[in-house]
Amino acid sequence: MLKIVPDPPFAPENPHALEDLVLQLIEHLTCALAITHHSTALTLGSPAQPLTIATAHEVDAALTLAETALSRIQVRH
């Protein structure tokens, strides 16, 4: 069955909905960061260690951006 009308863009009427999404994102990124730190410890001396360190760095940067976004959302209301 073809859908004739597209879904509207995501624009939550409740600002708390966006805040909840960012909080979930932060929780997932925190878990991913813990996993990459653990993986780094397990790969000591391995050729894979630089990759896991780079992954931890990128996840940490994403976590910082998500936390900044959350603080800006909370300031608005």
Which pTM value belongs to this model?
0.73
Q: What is the pLDDT of residue 7?
A: 65
pLDDT tens digits for 9-55? 655 566 678 888 999 999 999 999 999 999 999 999 999 999 999 99
Find out whether 18 and 71 touch, Cβ atoms under 8 Å. no
CA distances, 51 to each of 20, 47, 77 (Å): 31, 8, 40
Q: Which residues contact 24 (CB under 8 A, 6 or more apart)?
A: none
Q: What is the pLDDT of residue 55?
A: 96
Q: What is the pLDDT of residue 14?
A: 66
Angle at which helix 49-76 crosses helix 15-42, to 10 degrees, equals 160
